Amino acid sequence: MKRLGALPRWFKRRIGYARLLCLALLIGFAALRYADPAPVEEIRVRTFDAFQRIDPRKKTARPVTIVDIDDKSLEKLGQWPWPRTRIADLITELTRLGAVVIAFDAVFPEPDRLNPALAADTFRNLDEETRARLRALPSNDQIFADAIRKSRVVLGESGLPEEIATLDKTLPVTGLAMLGEEPQRFMFDFPGLLRNVPVLEHAAAGRGLFTIKPERDGIVRRVPMIMQAQGQTMPSLTFEILRVASGSGTILIKAEKAGIKSIGVKGFQIPTDHNGQLWVHYARNDASIYVPAVNVLEKNVAPDMIAGKLVLIGTSAAGLYDIKTTPVSRAMPGVEIHAQVLESALTGAVISQPNNGIAVEFATALLFGLLVIAFAPLFGPVTLVALGAAFAAALLGTSVYFYTQHRLLIDFTYPLMSTTSIYLTLIFSSFVREQAQRRQIRSAFGQYLSPALVEQLAQSPEKLVLGGEEREMTIMFSDMRGFTSISETYKSDPQGLTALMNRFLTPLTNAILSRKGTIDKYMGDAIMAFWNAPLDDKDHELNACEAALDMLERVDELNQARELEAKEEGRPFIPLNAGIGLNTGTCVVGNMGSDQRFDYSVFGDSVNLASRLEGQSKEYGFPIIVGSRTALAVKDRFAILELDFIMVKGKKEPEVIYAIAGREDVAQSGRFQRLRNLTIEMLACYRNRDWEGALATIERGRKTDDANALELLYDLYEVRIRGYLENPPPEDWNGAFALLTK
């Protein structure tokens, strides 16, 4: 049994739980790479984007020309789509100039709206002879088809997110041959297929999907070479162009158990990813391959721009919405992406991922991960950083080398992330052990002190005296006024009441913490706080009074916001008010509680008096009431007003209590001076048993402009005085009033 008990200690000393965690991380990263979720893939492809931006494809030839339906052509020839007769003229002219293949990055799914027969049925005020002559003319679509038949034209088609109910499955499709596994299950599958009108489909030399599928972040990195669309296997527009140009009758698809490997025709074998997509090896935007369509129709184009070229007819006009984002450009027309694919294939400048690339990634991550787990704890931090930098540089350099020299995409991010995570875990575990004491202090005092004070205590733990010690401290109690009536309005909405309390207590807490206070506890709608512990604060009375005034200001701001919300929502507004009691005296502070649970707290007579003062704030009409020691310490910095001489229940000695009416600017104001003089005169008469003089002073005060500020205080003393007129106090009365409640 002793040996069994010693096993965990031996394991912790010789191997360590951190290393065990790192082994789990190594396995976890391997599983993550195997699953290859979207975020992991996005990191990898973003790296490949960087490679393309750093080293884009260099153009060694320009085998493709784009006939651009640009803004200039639209302005001169009218909006798209143009009449099919005009497009037929475009085909005829391109054929005359020697285009090898002409392809449309557009689809013609409906008959031309300007067909003569349609015009005969649509135009008004035509005689029957004219209508008959129009119906006898060949359709624009037929003229277009005749032009297509005299050339080598590839028509574009589009994959759709919904099935087309009227799809004619008798239309011609490209022949396919398959080698290896069934490839269809790996292809992108579009539920619908949008084809051209039948007369055009039968005339064309080929048909291909021009649909480009951006990745999750909207960037076009890969273009499918073969796809499924409404049950039919269709080549991409670009690969169909290559098939027609090469004179091949069929397309050969090679597939393995892991997915599609390549797609080829006579003279071309293009490697793809497992979904049949080609990584596009982008060059920068090339305006030199564009020819405005209007220039072709006006026979104003250099013959060498067309002769012997693959011609793509598409658009760069912003209004036709065919602008894509690529790794090298934020605004590349979709038709130019097709041109880039063709250029890459024809010049042999394709990029691909090697079949054994994933195996290499796994082996690299495993080897370096085990080396770090075994040896990292033995080296110093400088050596570890140097080795880590060398490892990262080697991975990056290898990846860059294979891309620039062999156009192979080797991912370095997975082994780098795996090894770096293991390395950081080991470093962190060491850091955690070294910071145990500071972490304990932050945990113990984070809920009581402001972050700055917590950090100061963590950096200098010798300042902390745990257990119990006597200190002169300033204690605060704060409470919400009228909480019972407010809570009644939330009987059916307890969550709303909780949200309101949090909204009320948060700014008050922030005010306390910002003035170096320590939060002792929350008691429903009340807060208890103190100053001068656990860290020394020689200005604790001043900071406590500043915090109290800050709290009232923040409550006012909260009420303004709540009143505006209430008006907007059409509900009654109930303002929130706070009562605050402050007292300074000697207290015992430290960790209080049991062996299992304790809090850093404070107790003593001064604490009890602060609590009583907070309870009296509603009686005297001032939200902040302080004891005599607090008032005397800050009398030169605040507007201090003496209120009473009271005997608190449970105490033998009476206490003079004061109100804080504001800061120094208030104390210097004429209004406050008048209030204070009236109060001093009234209290002097009261304590000398000059009841009539005191009442006269109260009456005189009520006639001043500032009467409302002392209304509750006047009412309180008037009730007392009239009681003494009927039942005078004893002869040894010293002016103190005994509070009957706590």
Residue 86 scores a pLDDT above 90: yes
Mean pLDDT in residue range 577-600: 80
Measured over the CA atoms of residue 166, residue 168, residue 169 and residue 174, the dihedral's sign is negative
Percentage of the chain lying above the pLDDT 70 cut: 89
Pairing between β-strand 526-531 and β-strand 259-265 as defined by DSSP bridges: unpaired
Q: What is the pLDDT of residues 348-392, one digit of tens each?
A: 888 877 766 677 778 888 888 888 877 777 776 677 778 778 888
Q: Tokens standing for 45? A: 């492809």
Contact between residue 145 and residue 202 where contact means Cβ atoms under 8 Å apart: yes
φ, ψ of residue 271 in degrees (nearest 5) = -70, 140
Residues 6+ apart with CB under 8 A from 215: 42, 45, 221, 222
H helices of 467-539, in order, are: 483-488, 494-514
Confidence of residue 13 (pLDDT cuts 50, 70, 90): very low
CA distances from 286 to 188, 291, 298, 485 (A): 30, 12, 23, 75
pLDDT value at position 5?
A: 44
Mean pLDDT in residue range 217-230: 90
Residue 502 scores a pLDDT above 60: yes
Residue 450 scores a pLDDT above 70: no
Whole-number average pLDDT of the chain: 85
pTM beyond 0.75: the answer is: no
pLDDT value at position 563?
A: 92
Percentage of the chain lying above the pLDDT 90 cut: 43
Residues 6+ apart with CB under 8 A from 548: 476, 478, 580, 582, 624, 660
pLDDT value at position 442?
A: 61
Mean pLDDT in residue range 436-453: 59
Confidence of residue 1 (pLDDT cuts 50, 70, 90): very low
Q: Of the spans 3-12, 274-283, 461-470, which averages the highest pLDDT?
A: 274-283
d(CA 459, CA 106): 69
Neighbour order of strands in the sheet with 259-265: 175-180, 250-256, 259-265, 268-271
Confidence of residue 719 (pLDDT cuts 50, 70, 90): very high
Q: What is the pLDDT of residues 152-169, one digit of tens each?
A: 999 999 999 899 888 888
d(CA 245, CA 551): 81
φ, ψ of residue 283 in degrees (nearest 5) = -105, 170
Q: Which of 425-429, 451-455, 531-535, 610-614 has the lowest mean pLDDT?
A: 451-455
pLDDT value at position 16?
A: 64
Mean pLDDT in residue range 577-596: 83
Contact between residue 649 and residue 739 where contact means Cβ atoms under 8 Å apart: yes
Mean pLDDT in residue range 100-106: 94
Q: What is the pLDDT of residues 665-687, one digit of tens each?
A: 999 998 899 889 999 999 999 99
